[in-house]
Amino acid sequence: MSCILSALYFIVGLVLLKLVLIWVFFKEDIRAAKKRDPAARNPLEILLLYQGLHALIAHRIAHFFYKAHMFFLARLISQFSRWMTGIEIHPGATIGNRFFIDHGMGVVIGETAIVGDDVLLYQGVTLGGTGLEKGKRHPTIGNNVVVGTGAKILGNITVGDNSYIGANAVVIRDVPANSTVVGVPGRITKQDGKKIDISLDHIHILDPIMQSIEELEKRIEKLEKG
């Protein structure tokens, strides 16, 4: 009986030690989660139940081994984390401070992606490549960027600081700082707090089909007005 009790105390002690260590090393990330998720009640809940935080902790460990050229172990940790959390972060990806993935499921972050500080990603976001090229082939995300649910940011492009990528946008070109981007392909609708009239924004119109649709919409509107 006393043997079982000792084992139990030992396990509880280990779990508490683990929680304390996570708090010590990840308190900034836990606070970021608390700040950015209105549903988060307290740090303990985040620590125990937020898969975005768990994926980040696993990534920090995997990245350490990746840097030490222990690629198999790094990949093993990242695959285990993917299995547990539904979030796949390649161990080679560079992730800044106070990073938070809300909800998480289906997030994919590629090997050469670089993510700045204070970045928030929602579920279903991909920071991916566009082909089979080698070298830097994934995006660089600036500081204080929010990437909405389902958005895809593809290729070796840069998203400037303080930008907001709308839900389900597909971004394939550089995004200047302080921009809001929506749609497929992603187009800037706001910059430095000012709304951009898409019809006058020739630089960021990328898709000829979209252009034709916009033309047609204008003509229909004109006809309807008589």
Ligand X SMILES: CC(C)(COP(=O)(O)OP(=O)(O)OC[C@H]1O[C@@H](n2cnc3c(N)ncnc32)[C@H](O)[C@@H]1OP(=O)(O)O)[C@@H](O)C(=O)NCCC(=O)NCCS
Which residues form the interface with ligand X (CB under 6 A)? 103, 122, 148-149, 164, 166-168, 180, 182-183, 189-190
In angstroms, what is the minimal distance from the CB of 149 to ligand X? 4
54: Cα separation from own chain's centroid: 14
Between 93 and 181, CB nearer to ligand X:
181
In angstroms, what is the minimal distance from the CB of 123 to ligand X? 7
Between 103 and 137, CB nearer to ligand X:
103
In angstroms, what is the minimal distance from the CB of 90 to ligand X? 23
Between 104 and 110, CB nearer to ligand X:
104
In angstroms, what is the minimal distance from the CB of 182 to ligand X? 4
Between 94 and 149, CB nearer to ligand X:
149
In angstroms, what is the minimal distance from the CB of 167 to ligand X? 4
In angstroms, what is the minimal distance from the CB of 184 to ligand X? 8
Between 75 and 150, CB nearer to ligand X:
150
Half-sphere exposure of 154 (CA within 13 A, CB side): 16
Between 19 and 220, CB nearer to ligand X:
220
Sheet arrangement for strand 94-95? 94-95, 114-115, 140-141, 158-159
